[in-house]
Amino acid sequence: MSNPYIALVEAHNALLQKTDAPLFDNLDTLGRAAGTPAAADAPVAMIFAPHPDDECIIGALPLRLGREAGFRVINVAVTQGSNLKRQPERWVEVKNACDYLGWELMETIPGGLMSITTKTRSEDPAAWAEKVAVIAKLITANKPQVVVCPHNNDYHSAHIGTHYLIVDALKAANHRCVLVQSEFWRQMEAPNALIATNLQDTADLIAALACHVEEVRRNPYHLRLPGYMADNVRRGAEVCGGQGAAAPTFSFGTIYHVGQFDGSNVLASDKKFTISESNDIKAILA
């Protein structure tokens, strides 16, 4: 008897090895995703992305806040990558991605901040303070109700550095908010939120990621995003829902830690969230 799962494996492999998946270096063919523009006085969710493309990979929660709760979503490109020659191209790519999703895009400084690492934080406090001031100014000006940044052990030095940069800036601004910590390169020790995306939202995040043309040519993040999000559901069922919890029936999700920042510190929380496609995304604000 042949293995009955070989066809399933072959189908997955074919999707991951696709060579004809479209990439979008402009929005003429892709257009823009459907959605209602946020009101000028809408509450704000700010994503602080270490690199252009991170905003799409971890974008499930802010996408739902914008589409379902009327938030203005602002993506702040903390850096534009370390390759100086690629920075102008990466800015075009991230602008296309944000335009497609209906998000605003902000620059930190022309070309983006550099050396966002814990080494800079510990060894060059004057330079670090200048970077913190840049971010604190954006936070003060936009007063976000929700701030999204990587967790403090997300492997990549710029991801870890961005975490501390944002926490230091929130302290400098004495800003209270819902602080959402994301993961990509390394799993969090204690996440508490599994946020589902429906088929349209998932496809839109993939299409936006495909706007980062040269990044996904180097590593096809866009083709692997559904598998990553499916595995989040597998893992999030228990690490966010509790050991032995019933597995969610949705297919795609993203894992976060949702907590409160009181102006000085991240407050401990024992809340857990498993938010399906039909649940109210505003539950994370409680």
The correct answer on CATH 3.40.50.10320 for the domain covering 41-285 is yes
- Confidence (pTM): 0.95
Give the model's pLDDT for residue 171. Answer: 98
Give the model's pLDDT for residue 198. Answer: 97
Q: Which of 147, 140, 83, 143 is nearest to 112 (CA)?
A: 83
- Distance, first Cα to last Cα, the chain: 54
pLDDT tens-digit map of 106-165: 999 999 999 999 999 999 999 999 999 999 999 999 999 999 999 999 999 999 999 999
Give the model's pLDDT for residue 129. Answer: 98
Domain boundaries along the sequence of the chain:
41-285
Give the model's pLDDT for residue 98. Answer: 97
Share of the chain above pLDDT 70, in %: 100
Residues recorded for the chain: 286
pLDDT tens-digit map of 23-45: 999 888 888 887 778 888 999 99
The confidence band for 272, taking pLDDT boundaries of 50, 70 and 90, is very high
Average pLDDT, the chain: 95
